Structure 1
Amino acid sequence: MTRAIKVRHLLAALVAVLTLAPQAARADTGADARADAGFVSAPVSASAPGQRWVGTWEGAPSGTVPAQPGASIRNVVHTSVGGSAARVRISNRLGTAPLQLGSVTLALQELGASESPNAVPGSMRVATFAGARSVTVPVGMDVVTDPVGLPIPADANLLISVHTPTDSGPATYHRSALQANFLGQGGDWTADELGAAYTVPLGNWYYVTGVDVFGSSAVGSVVALGDSITDGSGSTFSANHRWPDRLAARLRGLPEHRRLGVLNAGISGNRLLLEGRGPSALDRLGPDVLSRAGVRTVIVMEGINDIKGTPEQTDPGALEDAYRRIVASAHARGIRVIGATLTPYGGHGGYTPAREGVRQAVNAFIRDGGLFDGVADFDATVRDPAAPHRIHPAYDPGDHLHFNDAGMRAMADTIDLTALVP
């Protein structure tokens, strides 16, 4: 028996055993009655592990690009935790016209091939929306698919393919995926297991902004709210070495009652107070954090672009007030907040001594202000002891702002896992 046939038989057997998972999952509608229709605006209610939706992946909307009418886009995303079924979040949050999707599919990516458009044989599934294969997403809204009966492994790549039959105007996307994705022109190729039609490489995620799993042993999820450092800039392409990925690997080593999915809500260029690359962190707190499935904790690392950007933020108190608003909103939902200190950037073109003073004041507040439920002192971990305003050379990819793979690992190792789930 060939390896492909073995994989197909195994997946078929697993899905047969799990045929009740979509029906059980459908009963967990959460706080918003519209969830059954696919519209999401609130997190699901708490329940026993394995009987709730838990977020396993996120790509926060960062802007728009021209649509790809008549094409298919194969997005590659990486899970943090697994489950017996999945649902996919599709976004038209930043669009200007109703988004028409002709079809959406979900599959496992070809084993051992992080830059391949091919699916594991037998794993392709059609996603539906209230039973229909096509959907129109209103302007400014997200929708979620019906439960998809496919066993989802932890630490694995999924293929989420979408077909846009018409020009629906600007496409909501995540600009810096740091992952090989694919465009297939001139047709609906979403159900193709072999990705021969996907001939154009993409470095962005189109429309797809989240994946939840049902039947996971994880007790919930943690969201990393941040900018390019959280988005993974400086780490290896298509390797899933961002610090939230490294955190997910640490969490998978914990006992089941303490495991969490990890959702990366980082956007390169994002700011805490002002819209820039994507909505401000304050404005996207609801859709990118509070509305995600099973959220227990959020780690906030935002503010460096406010300090060094244009217009620059010279008053540390403005950032401190924003942190207070985030904590208040999260605590109102029963969500813990970990404050992450802002990392050094001496040697970068945006550095000035005055801005360094603001960063130091903000970090002092994060460490000692008593606001957060815990602190991840990234600054102390990655700074150069000989020049604390600069990144340690071992962690610097060369731009003196972001982090290489070693730096990303060091940041993830800084986080106290006991602070994430009390």
Structure 2
Amino acid sequence: MSRAIMFRRLLVPLATALVLASTGVIAEARSAPGRTAPKPARTWTGTWEAAASGTAPALPGASIRNVVHTSVGGRAARVRLSNRLGTRPLRLGSVTLALQLPGAPGSPRAVAGSVRAVTFSGAGAGAGAGAGAGAGAGAGAGAGAVTVPVGRDLVSDPVPLRVPADANLLVSVHTPADSGPATYHRSALQANFVAPGGDRTAQESGAAYTTRVGSWYYVTGVDVLGASAAGSVVALGDSITDGTGSSSDANHRWPDRLAARLRGLPAHRRPGVLNAGISGNRLLLDGRGPSALTRLDTDVLSRAGVRSVIVLEGINDIKGTPEQRDPRALEDAYRLVVRRAHARGIGVIGGTITPYGGHGAYTPAREAVRQAVNTAIRTHRIFDAVADLDAAVRDPARPNRILPAYDPGDHLHFNDAGMRALADTIDLRTLTAKRLSPR
């Protein structure tokens, strides 16, 4: 790694901390005598994310209750809502945040007394609003109704709610009118709920939420304040990262499994985990959602407290239409991701592309491209660290295929056991190091 990059990676977090301190987000740290672990930084940390993958028809007059799962907890939260892919201004009549009743993953019911109104001061408006966006206003300082401009995200005011780690939150939004196509994340692998008539965002019982949907509408992120360890890691990927093949309503995607592993670390070393996977996504070309290069700023670099990113992208470039036949094109794209991340002081871990022999799109020529790309990831010093996911999940007897124990049947994605194997391959030291060194 060049001295210039090392200098930038040290300078950017320092500059960010100074900016946040000037807006009052960071309070003065006071260390307890004899304490060995550092006191948690009082900054925003990403606890959950869903990347905008496309649009769906609007649900005018309805309330939508999105169920999202936290990786780390905090003493307050803020919500990111998106009209990034919409074509008309998005009018939200009201938004609430609540804790889902424990033990009821398939229920829209909130914990009694936990429903909080979400307000918007306007400070969080803007595409790619980052760690400090929306933080200057106190809870309740803004309006409950808000309009999100076309192509923009909006970050809420702080919401005074103690958020546990490894818990489900309810983000409920009411859309009083037809605002055009709804920005959503199509494949949630999570039951979400719709109340077809009226503003039901404050309802605790959830009785009005009679319709289930399998997508997240409008909500694309939740941050927490006062997490045990400031900072987060983003998983940038396609359907494998999005969780295809794993159990629904169970949070068994490999980033979820990674978050579970991280909870075994001391409290001051547990970063949040953000899932920026989109089913069908490609590294180079738009299609199922914006390409990884197109959405890098909005889905990764501008998220709260990002310290590292794990990249698992490329299989859809290789097997899709049009197919990418030049391994160097993917290698160049990886290098661009790394340069842009390093400019923000963010480390990058590269995941080797997993096998797909037996899948309908498999051909020997495409397999040769996959092998060439994986060789480059392992040996060309593209990334700060490498997670050899291919080696961890392939069948030793048939290396172009996934181990049968990990295969849900389509020979491309992973079942719950396979998702665990992917997560177990990540070296946790690469996620929590202050600075990564090229391998």
Whether these two folds match at TM > 0.5 is yes
Match of 1:344 in 2: 355
Q: Are residues 1:366 and 2:359 paired? A: no
**Corresponding residue number in structure 2 for 1:49:** 40
Shift of 1:218: 1.7
Q: In the alignment, what sits opposite 2:262?
A: 251
For residue 391 of structure 1, the aligned residue among 391, 402, 417 is: 402
Tell me which residue corresponds to 1:83.
74
Picking from 95, 104, 111, the partner of 1:120 is 111
| One-letter code aligned to 2:307 | R
Conserved 8 A contact 2:26-2:41:
no
Q: Does 1:58 align with 2:69?
A: no
Q: Which residue is equivalent to 1:294? A: 305
Task: Find the counterpart in structure 2 of residue 324 from structure 1.
Answer: 335
Structure 1 pair 397–204 and aligned structure 2 pair: CA distance change class (3 A): same
Q: Aligned partners of 2:336 and 2:120: how far apart in 1? A: 35
Which residue of the partner structure matches residue 6 of structure 2? none
What does residue range 65-76 of structure 1 map to in structure 2 within 5 Å? 65-76=56-67
Counterpart among 270, 277, 281 of residue 266 in structure 1 = 277
1:391 and 1:350, CA in 2 relative to 1: closer, same or farther beyond 3 A? same
Question: What pairs up with 1:22-421 in 2 under 5 angstroms?
Answer: 49-130=40-121, 131-421=142-432
- Distance, in Å, in 1 between the alignment partners of 2:432 and 2:87 is 39
Change (3 A) 1:58 1:30: farther
Runs of 4+ in 1 over 2 A off after TM superposition: 28-33, 47-50
Count of aligned positions = 388
Give the Å deviation of 1:50.
4.0
Counterpart of 1:95 in structure 2: which amino acid?
G
Deviation at 1:67, TM superposition (A): 0.4
Q: What is the DSSP-based 3-state SS (H/G/I as helix, E as strand, rest coil) of the residue aligned with 2:367?
A: helix
Cα distance in 2 between the residues matched to 1:410 and 1:30: 40
After TM superposition, the score normalised by the length of structure 1 is: 0.89
Percent same amino acid at aligned positions? 75
Give the Cα separation in 2 of the matches to 1:241 and 1:302.
19
Amino acid at match of 1:76: V
Q: What is the alpha-carbon distance in structure 2 between the residues aligned to residue 183 and residue 76 of structure 1? A: 11
Residue by residue over 1:135-187, the C-alpha shift from the partner in whole angstroms, topping out at 9 and shown as x without a partner, is 10011100011000000000000000000001100000000000000010110
Aligned residue identity for 1:343: T
Structure 2 residue matching 1:420: 3-state secondary structure:
helix
Query: Any stretches of 5+ residues in structure 2 without a counterpart?
Result: 1-15, 30-38, 122-141, 434-439
Residue 29 to residue 132, structure 1, CA distance change in 2 (3 Å): farther
Aligned-pair distance for 1:259?
1.0
Question: C-alpha displacement at 1:49, in angstroms?
Answer: 2.3
SS of alignment partner, residue 366 of structure 2: helix
| C-alpha distance in structure 1 between counterparts of 2:172 and 2:149, whole Å | 20
Contact 2:61–2:197, Cα closer than 8 Å, also in 1? yes
For residues 211 and 77 of structure 1, the distance between their equivalents in structure 2, rounded to whole angstroms, comes to 9
Deviation at 1:256, TM superposition (A): 2.1
Determine the C-alpha separation between the residues in 1 that align with 2:26 and 2:315: 32
Displacement of 1:44 in angstroms is 10
Tell me: CA distance 1:44–1:389, structure 2 relative to 1, closer, same or farther (3 Å): farther
Counterpart residue type for residue 202 of structure 1: V
Amino acid at match of 1:269: G
Quote the offset at 1:30 in angstroms: 8.3
Distance 2:185 2:19 in 1: 27
- Per-residue CA deviation, residues 41-69 of structure 1 (Å, 9 max, x unaligned), is xx999x96240000000000000011000
Q: Quick one: distance in 2 between partners of 1:274 and 1:44?
A: 39
| 1:335-361 residue CA offsets vs partner (Å, 9 max, x unmatched) | 000000000000000000000000000
Deviations 1:230-264 (A, max 9, x none): 00000000000000000000111101232110000
RMSD between aligned residues = 2.0
Contact 1:44 1:294 (C-alpha < 8 Å) held by counterparts: no
